[in-house]
A and B are shown apart, each in its own frame.
Chain A
Amino acid sequence: MSTGTAAPKVTGPPPETTSSSDPATPTLAFRGVAKVFPTGTRALEDVSIDVRAGEFVSVVGPSGCGKSTLLRLAAGLDGATEGEVDVRASTTSFVFQEATLLEWRTARRNVELVGELAGVAAAERRRRAAEALELVGLAGFEDQHPRSLSGGMRMRVSIARALVAEPQLALFDEPFGALDEITRLKMQTELQRLFQLKGFAAMFITHSISEAVYLSSRVLVMSGRPGRIVDDIEVPWSYPRSPELRYEPEFGRIVGRLSHALEAHS
């Protein structure tokens, strides 16, 4: 709870040239990572993953296999026991399982929080928040409190808050898990559009195989605890992808292969 170091803040939009613009250097790299909790639970075992700029990598796996731990390591919220987690992004954003909005702030002020904490001037962060909210289709809802927004809309605010910092790496921890199926499909389309527009590197945790295939350029399958990467599948289609893609036979084949891999290792 007490992480109170006044670290240098990113005040402007991130510079155009960073190390991650070199396609050879991954934006996020796990090398031989293991994680053992103080309780002795081995959550991850020898995990190596590269996520490059413009890649959308999903991780599917059985419940409790350490998928979320993986994301916390990438975000720097937790440290690896063994191995190395290398992040080469000037800005990393995290989208939580729940929308995690501050209930006393309006949608706009929730998005503004990021700039507020980084010391961005009021007018500038207001402009950026309005832009981000418009991007996620919430223009006109800026002054609503989270309480009066639907689950899907709350998640949109959460995504706007993640995107307002113009991240080079975006981490998603089962963001659509709590949404109903119809809202969920719409949010997938939305996220795919935003990914294409913004070009961040994405790591996406999900329980849903078809969600992973629809969104991702690569899908990783994790085994049950301790989590290991047991399969790594390229998804061939380029972006943007039509929602109709879900009904293609090839889509079904990939989903099938992933399901088998999951069953074999859970």
Chain B
Amino acid sequence: MSHDTAVGAPSAQASSSAATTPPRAATTAVRPSGGRAGAAAGTVWGRSAPIVAALLGIVAIWYVVSYVFLSESRRFLLPPPHQVLAETVGNTLVIAPMLAALVQTITVALIGLTIAVAIGMTWALVMSQWKLAEKILYPYAVILQTIPILALTPLIGIWMGYGPPARVVVCVIIAVFPMISNTLFGLQSATAAAHDLFTLQKATQRQRMTKLMLPAAIPSIFTGLRQSAGLAVIGAIVGDFFFQQGSQGIGGLLRTYTLRLNMEPLFLAIIFTALFGVVVFSIFAALDRFVVGRLFGVSTR
């Protein structure tokens, strides 16, 4: 009997691995959350082709509206793309201040995002440590999220002046909530059994935080970062729009162009803000895929 088992055990192991590996491999391709595996498939061209096609489509529709739907006298409402480019990119007097304004807004957005991330993560960490803190602090996070920012901005202007610091504050208020809620969700995502495991090993509170709760929160933190980054862009532009003192941001220019009916620069400014948003979102989405992929063993290429 002894001999029988001694021979039986290793072969049972070997066939178990062999038998169970292939179906799992098939599942892995489907399972990773957030479609991370999907991004791994296909070349850069394969992924960007639909985006390029959509862009071309937009330009085509733009031309059709400009030339077919609008009579010549009303064409200023939507000047055709080549005209927008010629009168803006081709004109240093327009493009130079616009790029300077864009840099100004990017700076505000990045500072705002950094502060929002710091505040949001600290806020969530505190709430994850004390149930009472969560009960007290969470409603304020929700209030921050639900107050229409337009109701607050005039007040912020009165208190903080109309320069860049006020713009940063608006940016932080708009961007902070996803950081708070996603970080908190992530910190609380470790299972009860995993906590039991740490309890059984007599882990300290610090070990529980650094080796369980924080690593478990990383995917959610990156989700929050992606959302907050998008909102920081909006926040910076909204701030620009309201607070015009000091150097102008792109949002400030948007307002100026609108008031003066400078249609070509207005369209370029809109395109810039859109690009700005897309670029920020893409950077953080890529960062998310890369870091979370590395950490959780899902290959991203």
Provide the main secondary structure of the chain A interface: loop
The segment from B16-24, B79-87, B226-234, B269-277 found at the interface with A is: B16-24
CB-CB under 8 A from B198, the residues of chain A are 117
| C-alpha gap A116/B14 in the complex (Å) | 30
| C-alpha gap A80/B134 in the complex (Å) | 30
Q: Which of A7, A93, A103, A190 contacts B296 (CB 8 A)?
A: A103
**A193: interface (CB < 8 Å):** yes
B297 touches A152 (CB 8 A): no
A94 touches B200 (CB 8 A): yes
B16 touches A186 (CB 8 A): yes
A118 touches B194 (CB 8 A): no
B205 touches A147 (CB 8 A): no
**A243: interface (CB < 8 Å):** yes
Q: In this complex, what residue of A is CB-closest to B196?
A: A77
| C-alpha gap A100/B28 in the complex (Å) | 18
Provide the main secondary structure of the chain B interface: helix
Given A137-B17, A148-B297, A186-B16, also A102-B202 (CB < 8 A): no
Given A5-B202, A98-B193, A183-B16, also A189-B297 (CB < 8 A): no
| C-alpha gap A182/B28 in the complex (Å) | 21
B200 touches A190 (CB 8 A): no
CB-CB under 8 A from A251, the residues of chain B are none
CB-CB under 8 A from A93, the residues of chain B are 200
Given A137-B13, A193-B9, also A77-B296 (CB < 8 A): no
Q: In this complex, what residue of B is CB-closest to A179?
A: B20
A250 CB to nearest B CB, Å:
14
A145 touches B296 (CB 8 A): yes
**B32: interface (CB < 8 Å):** yes
**A149: interface (CB < 8 Å):** yes
**B165: interface (CB < 8 Å):** no
Chain B residues 18-43 with CB under 8 Å of chain A are 19-21, 23-25, 28, 31-32
CB-CB under 8 A from B20, the residues of chain A are 150-153, 183
**Residue interface mask B176-215, A partner, CB < 8 A = 1:** 0000000000000001011111111111111110011001
**B60: interface (CB < 8 Å):** no
B211 touches A116 (CB 8 A): yes
A114 touches B201 (CB 8 A): yes
Chain A residues 1-48 with CB under 8 Å of chain B are 1-7, 9
**B65: interface (CB < 8 Å):** no
B196 touches A242 (CB 8 A): no
CB-CB under 8 A from B295, the residues of chain A are 104
A130 CB to nearest B CB, Å:
16
**B111: interface (CB < 8 Å):** no
